Structure 1
Amino acid sequence: MTQYIIYFNQQWVGDHSEEWFRGRGPLAKAVVQEMKDAGVYVFAGGLDEDIDQAFNADATSGTLKISDGPFARTEEFLGGLSIVDVADDEAAKIWAGKVAEACGWPQDVRRIG
């Protein structure tokens, strides 16, 4: 079995009504439950949308520094992720498709080394 991360950037979500988002919650929870029932679930969760609440740890100078904010300011930032443990790329694609359909926005998939 191989672990895969299925993730999206917050900017991919798009503008939707509160009602639209409320309708997506049960769909996403159902996919997570399906992952658990299938025995492939490792983790799933959305991240706080307020990027200014992020902080980073950097020890590249030889001295650990903890700073407010993300390490690098970028136009896009991670919005949420799921990790599944499945047999192969094809199985990961199936789960990514289920997550994308439930959430209503694109998902990227990468193997975890």
Structure 2
Amino acid sequence: MSQYIIYFNQQWVGGHSEEWFKGRGPLAKAVVQEMKDAGVYVFAGGLEEDIDKAFSADATSGRLELTDGPFAETKEFLGGLTVVDVADDDAAKLWAGKVAEACGWPQEVRQIG
């Protein structure tokens, strides 16, 4: 078994009404429950949408520096993630597809090394 991260950037979500989001919540929860029932679920969660509430830790200078805000100025930032423990790429693709359909926006998948 291998672990894969299924994730999306917040900007991929797009602009939708509150009603639209309310309709997606039960679909996403159902996919998470399906993952749990299948024994592949490791973790899933959305991240704080306000990037200004992020903070960074950087020790590349040889001294730890903690700062408010994101590490780098960027137009895209992580919005949420799911981690699954599955047999192979095909199984990871299957779950990524289910997450994408339930959420209504694209997902990217990478194996955790």
Structure 1 length-normalised TM: 0.99
Matched with 2:17 is 17
Matched with 2:31 is 31
SS of the residue aligned with 2:72?
A: coil
Letter in 2 for 1:65: E
Question: Are 1:96 and 2:96 an aligned pair?
Answer: yes
Matched with 2:49 is 49
Question: Are 1:70 and 2:89 an aligned pair?
Answer: no
1:16 and 1:59 map into 2 onto residues whose CA distance is 39
Structure 2 length-normalised TM: 0.99
Matched with 1:86 is 86
RMSD of aligned C-alpha atoms?
0.4
Identity of matched residues, %: 84
Letter in 1 for 2:87: A
SS of the residue aligned with 2:61?
A: coil
The structure 1 segments of at least 4 consecutive aligned residues displaced by more than 6 Å after TM superposition are none
Count of residue pairs the alignment pairs up:
113
Runs of 5+ unmatched residues, structure 1: none
Letter in 1 for 2:43: F
